[in-house]
Amino acid sequence: MSKNRIQLTEHCQRRGFSIIFDELWTAYLPHIGGHGVLLYCYLKFMSGREIPNPCSKEWGQEVCQVLGMSIVESHGAWAHLQEMGLIMLLDGAYVLCDTEMIFPSSVPTRDVSRADDSSLYAQVELQFGRVLGSSEIARLEELAEAYSTELIVLAVQASVQEQALSMPYVTKVLADWKRRKLTTPADITAYLEERKQTILSNQIVKGRRNARIPQVKTGDLRGYDDPDLILKRMKQAARGED
């Protein structure tokens, strides 16, 4: 044995363990990546228990921080698991599936330099929290021909924030960005941040307008502008009288 390698053996057999089949390492690892493997093992451990929705704030706190990955990395890992059939959405609930005895040659090689169409489908389904229908898939394919994956994902996220989980709304968002000549993720991010600040400022101004102004009792002002009274007050002031 080379000095650069070590022998690893089991100290004892325990019953409280999660079964991870060899195919996860021999077949799936090159396609789902290290984050995908880590997330799958964690989900396997949590199987049968409730976990936060990947789109919730709790997901970042309870899952991402524990696993040491960013939210974006975890979403990408989730999408890869869906693409490889390890996570499925059935009857409104996510199901963690066991690995199958496949070989790397039977799975198309992933181009890690860009997100392919199937990964895009998985990302949209993850954001929407449901499986896309046939008409939605057709619409997504049309959008993929006209826009980059990054812009589509940003539009989907904007739709989720507006609670409009539909492809027509995503199309509307992309068309609006195109009309505004926003063509890069950086342009869109800057625009969304500026829009957010504008909305916040308008809410502050509106709140000030609606705020109650304390009423100050000033007494009876009737006749205050009467010329005779004004002249009388001027004379009193000249004599130093109150």
Domain annotation for the chain: domains and CATH numbers = 16-106 (1.10.10), 130-208 (no CATH)
Per-residue pLDDT, 106: 42
pTM of the model: 0.46
Per-residue pLDDT, 208: 64
Query: Which segments of the chain are extended strands (E)?
Result: 87-90, 93-96
Per-residue pLDDT, 102: 47
Per-residue pLDDT, 217: 52
In angstroms, the Cα distances linking 221 to 76, 218, 224, 227, 233 are: 71, 8, 5, 14, 14
Per-residue pLDDT, 230: 66
In angstroms, the Cα distances linking 104 to 100, 111, 130, 187 are: 12, 14, 28, 39
94 DSSP β-pair partners:
89
- Assigned token pair, 104: 């790397």
Per-residue pLDDT, 67: 94
Per-residue pLDDT, 99: 81
Low-confidence stretches of the chain (pLDDT < 50) are: 102-117, 216
184 near 154, Cβ under 8 Å? no
How far is the C-alpha of 11 from the C-alpha of 9, rounded, in Å? 6
Per-residue pLDDT, 75: 83
Per-residue pLDDT, 101: 56
Per-residue pLDDT, 215: 53
How far is the C-alpha of 78 from the C-alpha of 39, rounded, in Å? 8
